[in-house]
Structure 1
C-alpha cells in the first residue's frame, strides 16, 4: 500500500508525521490498511474536506489521522508529495505570486531553511515552522509569522488560517512592495525563534 508524506518537512516534522502513522493502530485499534478498507467501502463523499469531515464524524478520528488515512485511501495526482503541482494549483494569480516571490527572496539566505508546499499555503521552517503565506482575493496574500502581534502595528491575530499554531501573527500583503525592510526583519525574527 503506497503511503504519501509531504515534501519540505523539517527533521522534527518528519518524525512527527511518521509517529502519526506508527501510532495509528495503537491509538485507534485499527491498522492503516484496515482504515483504508473501511473508508473506501463506506465513504460516499468525493471532496477531500467532506471525506475528512465524514471520517471525523463517523469514527471520531482526528484531523491528522484522517489526513493520513485519506492520503492512502484516495491518492490523487496532486498529493502531499507533489510540491510543484500544489504550488502551481495554489498560486494562480500573478499579483499574489509576485508577493510569494518577494517573500521567498526575503528568506532565501536563512540558514537551515526548509520550504514546504501545502494545498492551502506555502510554509517556511527551520526546526519548526516560522512563516506561511497563502493567496488572498484581489491579488493579495496573507503572511503568518511566529512572532507576537505586538512586534509591529501592522500585525493582527490569525483566525482559522489553517497553518501551524506557532504562527501567532498575520499580515495582509497587498503587493510585492509590501515585503519591505520591516517585513524582512519580522521574517528574520520569526526564523531566529524557530
Structure 2
C-alpha cells in the first residue's frame, strides 16, 4: 500500500472515529454495488469529501490497485480487446520512468495513474480507437496536442488523444515532463 493511501486510512479513523473496515461494513449493509452509488451515499448521508468516499468505495468493491492480487493483471485487463495500444503504454511508461526514480505507476481498473508526490498523469486505453493521456497542468493554456479536459469531474486538467504509437512524440513527452516537474 502506498504512503498516501495509508495516510488517508489513518485520517479516516481520526476524522470519523470509525476504521476503514467499519465503513466498508456500513457500505455493504446498504447493498450498493456501484462506485457512484457508494460515493453518493457517503457524501450525502455521512458528509464525506470525494477523496474519502472514493477510498471507501474502491476498498468496498475491491476495485483499486491495492485490492488486486496482482496489479499487472489490472493493466492487462485494461488492454483486453485493445491490444494494439499495448506498445503505446510500454513506450509512454519507458519514457516517463526516465523522469526520475520517484515516479510511481498505480494501476486502477480503467487506467494507470502516474504519480510523483501527487498524480501528474493518467494512461487510459479509452476505447478501441482512442488512447487518452491525462495530464495535470492547472493554469496551462491548451496548446499543440494538449487539449483542455472538459469533463466536469476530470482528474486531470488536460488530455492528449492519440491512436497509434507514432503519435507519442517529443511534444507529448515534453508535456508529461512539465507535469512531472510541477508535481514535485
* Same structural fold, with TM-score higher than 0.5 when normalized by the shorter chain: yes
**Equivalent residue in structure 1 for 2:42, among 39, 51, 55:** 55
Contact 1:96 1:136 in 2 (8 A): no
In the aligned structure 1, how far is the partner of 2:152 from the partner of 2:114? 15
Q: Secondary structure at the match of 2:51?
A: helix
| Matching of residue 86 in structure 1 with residue 77 in structure 2 | no
Q: How does 1:24-63 map to 2 (within 5 A)?
A: 24-41=12-29, 43-63=30-50
TM-score (norm 1): 0.75
Contact 1:149 1:156 in 2 (8 A): no
Question: How large is the Cα RMSD of the aligned pairs?
Answer: 2.7
Work out the number of aligned pairs and report it: 177
In the aligned structure 1, how far is the partner of 2:87 from the partner of 2:125? 10
In the aligned structure 2, how far is the partner of 1:168 from the partner of 1:121? 16
In the aligned structure 2, how far is the partner of 1:176 from the partner of 1:138? 14
In the aligned structure 1, how far is the partner of 2:18 from the partner of 2:104? 33
Once the two structures are superposed, residues 78-130 of structure 1 have per-residue CA deviations (whole angstroms, 9 ceiling, x without a partner) of: 64223212212222202332321221232232212221112232122233322
- Higher relative CO (Cα under 8 Å, sequence separation at least 6) belongs to 1
Q: How does 1:12-161 map to 2 (within 5 A)?
A: 14=3, 16-41=4-29, 43-72=30-59, 74=60, 76=62, 79-81=64-66, 82=68, 83-92=71-80, 93-112=82-101, 113-147=103-137, 149-150=140-141, 152-160=143-151
Cα offset, 1:171, TM superposition: 0.9
| Unaligned runs of at least 5 residues, structure 1 | none
Cα offset, 1:161, TM superposition: 8.0
In the aligned structure 1, how far is the partner of 2:65 from the partner of 2:15? 23
Specify whether residues 110 and 189 from structure 1 end up closer, same or farther in structure 2 by C-alpha distance, changes over 3 A only.
same
Specify whether residues 191 and 138 from structure 1 end up closer, same or farther in structure 2 by C-alpha distance, changes over 3 A only.
same
TM-score (norm 2): 0.78
In the aligned structure 2, how far is the partner of 1:95 from the partner of 1:53? 36
